[in-house]
Chain A
Amino acid sequence: MALLELQGVDTYYGRVQALHQISMTIDEGEIVTLIGSNGAGKTTTLRTISGLTHPAKGHVRLRGKEISGLPPDRIVTLGIDHAPEGRRIFHRMTVRDNLFLGAYSRNDGPAIRADQERVFQLFPRLRERRQQIGGTLSGGEQQMLAIGRAMMSRPKLLLLDEPSLGLAPILVDTIFQVIRDINKQGTTILLIEQNAAKALQVANRGYVLETGRVVKEGTAKALLESPDVQRAYLGI
């Protein structure tokens, strides 16, 4: 059974339909990526999964169990974690507290500390700034923190909206390494990334969205080789 399944999902903002009949499946252990241009509905898809917006029609199922219509906090406790675009961290809390809040619903103390250590290893800057208030971090530092927090929560399914946003080139490879690592530790990942080429290199499969519809799907390799995708999203 698929870990997550969307079937015929329509999502509206007011009277405007943002998603049309979206269907997709994500299997346990996969990395799946969503590709599409500005306003295609990628973020809306993630919001629909995590319960921030509710679909007007269709189903969202986690392991076969309907979750559409549940409030976001319930969905989090079911193991879906959403790292939204534009880095939402707690602006008035320290870096450390932000990280520990990521592990809020866990109670395996030593493992939490080990995870924190890993976050610090990957992003030494965060270790330097352990006591700094989140809101005063630079944009890229906040992005690191948001990802670090997602790593700390060890969800079943992680929804990542543009994790490489605002990161210096030297860190972009690190981020994709992190994504692979998180995945190896048993987290399934749904990834939105403007750097489609890089995303498709780490992903198993991908979906292409255009104006709220799935227009193409396939293995990452097939999409990488598709001339349409290359022209529109890979900048080739």
Chain B
Amino acid sequence: MTEDGTTPATILDVDHVTKRFGGLTAIDDVSFSIRTGEIFALIGPNGAGKTTLFNTITGLYKPTAGMIRFRQRDITGLKPYKIADLGIARTFQQIRLFSYMSALDNVRIGEHPRMHAKLWDALFKTRYARREEARVTERANQLLDFVGIRPQAHNYARNLPYGSQRRLEIARALAGDPKLLLLDEPAAGANPQEKRELMELVERIRAQGITVLLIEHDMKVVMGISERIVVLDYGEKIAEGKPQEVRTDPRVIEAYLGKSA
């Protein structure tokens, strides 16, 4: 399965996945596997199909063909909330926070599937509900701390600066205790200093045992933290490998990096 012949535990298998929108093939028979615990990057020119692949993995789109397995289980075609519940969390390229909710509430929403208070508990504010709420709030605050925006916990999400909004999305995604985290351009709009902080944040996430699949256009970030990379172009996989291999691949340079990189 891999180049050295062993078959390490994979957490996600994308198996000959194709996605068409009408006449347009956004993903064209793409296959790759992500190993448990690694930081894996997905790169490619604009419109190559990266976000579409995220949407397919998380159940927003059904693939036209092919299969997606998460921890060896077939998740193709499951509903998004089911997939989130199984342990795949994501952030969005076009930030999708709950704008008129506080940062704290955004994270607590992320914890929703891990909460168990029932209608009864909610109506009568039972001890169980109060305790759970307290626990969840505590954890949400820790997560805000973890991504570094705790002081903004009580601001509306929409009022946070762009960079903090990206971090808040990460905190919300982590709140559901995912095993696999999909990050869609987390470093967009960050300056070099913030990019370094972000890379460090991703490393800390991985250190907690969470596998990371990353879309990113900033090559310093991608080359700096990812162990393996898949390159898409016009929906097709054109390269796969370690950062050094990918960076020198002539097809990748031609289609994506350009001469300047």
Contacts and interface: CB of A to CB of B under 8 A. Distances in A.
Q: Do A and B touch, yes or no (CB under 8 Å, in the complex)?
A: yes
Interface of A: 13, 37-39, 43, 85-87, 125, 136-144, 162, 165-173, 194, 196, 232-235
Nearest to A37: B191
A192 B93 CA distance: 20
B193 A86 contact: no
A89 B50 CA distance: 21
B244 interface: no
Contacts of A172: 260
Contacts of A233: 191-193
B interface bracket (residues with beta carbon within 8 Å of A): 35 or more
B77 interface: no
Contact of A168 (B44, B94, B192): B44
B58 to A, nearest CB: 16
Contact of A166 (B93, B164, B256): B93
Contacts of B163: 37-39
B54 to A, nearest CB: 11
Given A167-B46, A232-B193, A138 B256 contact: no
Contact of B51 (A138, A169, A194): A138
Interface in B246-261: 255-258, 260-261
Interface in B222-261: 255-258, 260-261
Interface stretch (B83-91, B107-115, B182-190): B182-190
B230 to A, nearest CB: 15
Contacts of B46: 125, 138-141, 143-144, 166-168, 171
Nearest to B52: A138
Interface in B158-212: 159, 161-164, 184-185, 188-196
A86 to B, nearest CB: 7
B183 to A, nearest CB: 13
A89 to B, nearest CB: 11
A43 to B, nearest CB: 7
18 contacts: A39-B161, A85-B162, A137-B47, A139-B46, A139-B184, A141-B46, A141-B47, A144-B46, A165-B188, A166-B217, A168-B46, A169-B217, A170-B45, A194-B189, A194-B190, A194-B194, A232-B193, A235-B191
Given A43-B162, A125-B46, A138-B46, 9 more contacts: A38-B161, A138-B48, A144-B46, A169-B256, A170-B258, A171-B45, A194-B194, A233-B192, A235-B192
Contacts of B122: none
Contacts of A140: 45-47, 217
Contacts of B164: 38-39
A232 B255 CA distance: 32
Nearest to B160: A39
A236 B196 CA distance: 12
B9 interface: no
Contacts of A168: 44-46, 217, 256
